Structure 1
């Protein structure tokens, strides 16, 4: 079942002085199936972050459509967008985006508080999630009192507690050491196996090697894609690294 459809997406920015048009996305089309784990890769300036922002309804395209379960998110009224995000999307960012004045528990609860949920239901949702993410013992601490890996696990809990249709991750391992990154990627694999659809933007071939499909963006277009098939993580990593090298040197075929 198709969850997300991106159709002929275009995004053009105007320079600050208004003299030039800069294309960020020129013609991006792809779909994501429910339960899929998709990684998007590309060099800096390739358009992948712009693409993620549009899918997240944080930016508007110049042309094309983004459909979530058939609903055109570009037609959602501005005043309804925040509610749409809370109900449908979970976000995991490179820099965690936790509030230092809130305990970790309250950071996780925040999207539920904004939606008006009762405290008893919030606690019921958090209990199994905290156990799965191994954060039960730190919920009363504050972000500045825990490690980067713990912060990111809390961020994952905040993203997942709303039971989102789509989990969006922007360079989720970028601020983590290698051990914490591996732990986070293990968690992503686990929640994906449990049915969570994930769309992740990353520079890391190691992170992308955990996905079921990798989409490569170059010059604002989908240039290439790679399916896992029966590959191991190690074989997937090698294939991704080879593809990135080929893209950088102009040796890969578009497709």
Structure 2
């Protein structure tokens, strides 16, 4: 079952001075099945961050549609978007986006507090998530008291606690060391194996090699995609590297 459908997405920015137009996305179409784990890759300026912002309903496309479980996000009124994001989307950012004046527990609870959930409901949801992520003993600490990897696991808990339709991750391993990166990727694979749909934008070939499908964007369009299938992470890594080399050296589109 398709959970996310992107149809003929185009985004054109007009510069403030001179009125020049920049086409960030020219014609993007793809779909994500429920339970998929998809990575999006591309060189800087390829349009992948613009795409993620539109999927997250943080930006509007110039034309085209984004459908999440049949709801057209791209035409949704601004007053309804905050509630829609909170109830249907989970976010994991490169820089964690945790509030230093809140404990880890309160950071995780924040989207549920905004939704008006009671404490017992929030705590019942938190206990199994914190246990699975290995942060149960850290919940009363503050972000400045824990490591980068622990901050990111907290951010993942915050993303999961609303039981979102899809988790959107923006360079989630970008601020982590190699050990914490490995731990986070194992966590992503584990929650995906349990049915959570994940869409991740990344520059990291290692991170992308854990996904079940990789979409490559070049010049605002889908250039190629790779399905993992029965490939190992190492074999997937090699295929991704070869495609990135093709993109960097101006190779032709692979249909």
CA distance in 2, matches of 1:205, 1:181: 12
Q: CA RMSD in A?
A: 0.7
More displaced 10-residue stretch of structure 1: 9-18 or 23-32: 9-18
For each residue in 1:161-189, what CA deviation from the matched residue of structure 2 results, as whole angstroms up to 9, or x when unmatched?
00000000000000000000000000000
CA distance in 1, matches of 2:187, 2:208: 14
CA distance in 2, matches of 1:198, 1:18: 39
3-state SS of the aligned residue for 1:224? Answer: strand
Structure 1 residue 252, shift from structure 2 partner:
4.3
CA distance in 2, matches of 1:73, 1:253: 30
Structure 1 residue 18, shift from structure 2 partner:
4.1
CA distance in 1, matches of 2:198, 2:137: 27
Tell me if structure 2 keeps the 8 A contact 1:243–1:252.
Answer: no
CA distance in 1, matches of 2:254, 2:70: 28
* Aligned equivalent of 2:117: 117
* Aligned equivalent of 2:206: 206
3-state SS of the aligned residue for 1:149? Answer: helix
The 4+ residue runs of structure 1 with deviation greater than 3 A are none
Unaligned stretches of 5+ residues in structure 1? none
Matches within 5 A, 1:93-172: 93-172=93-172
CA distance in 2, matches of 1:252, 1:5: 26
Give me the TM-score of the superposition, normalised by structure 1.
0.99
Structure 1 residue 47, shift from structure 2 partner:
0.2
Q: Does 1:233 align with 2:233?
A: yes
3-state SS of the aligned residue for 2:111? Answer: helix
Unaligned stretches of 5+ residues in structure 2? none
For each residue in 1:43-100, what CA deviation from the matched residue of structure 2 results, as whole angstroms up to 9, or x when unmatched?
0000000000000000000010000011111221111100000000000000000000
